[in-house]
Amino acid sequence: MLCGVASCWMNSGKKRRGMSTASVSGSARLAERLVELEKQFVELRALVLRLAPPKKDWRFTAGMMPDDEVSRGGDRLGREWRKAVNRDDS
């Protein structure tokens, strides 16, 4: 189990010299808040570490280009290039 700064301080149960009751109670509230934040951090860290990057395949890419003159021209040039390359290989 992770022992954060606040939880270790709260578990020690020791007052520091020269601290008033108000500052001790304020410090205790601050320590409690820090403990809660540490718990949230541990949970979020575990969640993030379980995430996997999205799988990228043709279904991810399909439909990304708009259907306009530029993309149709690119398709045409690609077809012409592939035909020329395949013709040279034969």
For position 1, what pLDDT does the model report? 42
Amino acid identity at 37: L
| Domains identified in the chain, total number | 1
Query: Are residues 41 and 6 in contact, defined by beta-carbon separation less than 8 angstroms?
Result: no
Helices H / strands E in the chain, number of each: 4, 0
pLDDT less than 50: residues of the chain:
1
Instruction: Please name which of 6, 79, 1, 77 lies closest in space to residue 36, comparing C-alpha atoms.
Output: 6
pLDDT tens-digit map of 18-31: 556 667 788 889 99
Cα separation values, 61 from 46, 55, 71, Å: 30, 11, 14
Cα 51 to Cα 87: distance, rounded to the nearest angstrom: 46
Residue 80: give the domain boundaries: 1-90
